[in-house]
Amino acid sequence: MNVSFFGRLTKAPEVKTNQTGTSYTTFTIATQVQAKGQDGKAKTLFVDVSAFGKQGDTIVKYFGKGSRIVIHGDIFDANAWVGKNDGQPHIGVNVTMSGFDFVDTQAESAARQQSAPMQAQPPQQAPQTGAAPWAPPAYGAPQQGMAPMPPQQAPQGYAAAPY
């Protein structure tokens, strides 16, 4: 079943490896549903997401705890439990991600990254002067007879999708 969810990551995404050696990324988003509990407060649905390939790599690179995201994918499992702290019933959904959309502005993402503690990550090549950190590398000089085009920029305040 194709679904889309909007929510915030509950913690930093994690890279895992399955039995066959394939790496994948997991993360959980919390989203509010329209139904309200007995106390009149909106209920929260927790969506466990698995992302494979370059999409998983992109999630790890650009998203952290509290980041807003829209995920698209297929439900492969659902579960229910009673909360340890509140004794209330909760439900969760497991989704295999087929796509996602950025929601945070570039400024919001930068502010979150500066306030988050540094995590151990492999060293990354510094961006070229004047290039945004998400800009793709230049793969060659323009072909003969063609004038170079100026790089396209994301609308002010929004990050460009890295794919």
pLDDT of residue 111: 73
User: Taking 50 as the threshold, does the pLDDT of residue 142 lie above it?
Assistant: no
Q: What span, in angstroms and rounded, lies between the C-alpha atoms of 60 and 69?
A: 13
Report the DSSP pairing between strands 42-52 and 14-17. unpaired
At 36-68, the pLDDT tens digits run: 777 778 888 899 999 999 999 999 999 999 999
Full set of structural domains in the chain with CATH: 2-115 (2.40.50.140)
User: Taking 70 as the threshold, does the pLDDT of residue 24 lie above it?
Assistant: yes
Q: Within 13 A of 115's CA, how many CA atoms are on the CB side?
A: 10
Higher pLDDT among residues 110 and 7, named by residue? 7
pTM: 0.63
Higher pLDDT among residues 151 and 55, named by residue? 55
Strand blocks (E) in 37-128? 42-52, 68-82, 89-102
Q: How confident is the model at residue 160 (pLDDT cuts 50, 70, 90)?
A: low
At 61-79, the pLDDT tens digits run: 999 999 999 999 999 899 8
Q: How confident is the model at residue 162 (pLDDT cuts 50, 70, 90)?
A: low
Assess contact for 150 and 138: CB atoms under 8 A.
Answer: no
Q: How confident is the model at residue 33 (pLDDT cuts 50, 70, 90)?
A: confident
Q: What span, in angstroms and rounded, lies between the C-alpha atoms of 85 and 82?
A: 9
CA distances in angstroms from 103 to 9, 107, 149, listed in the order given: 12, 12, 28
pLDDT of residue 116: 59
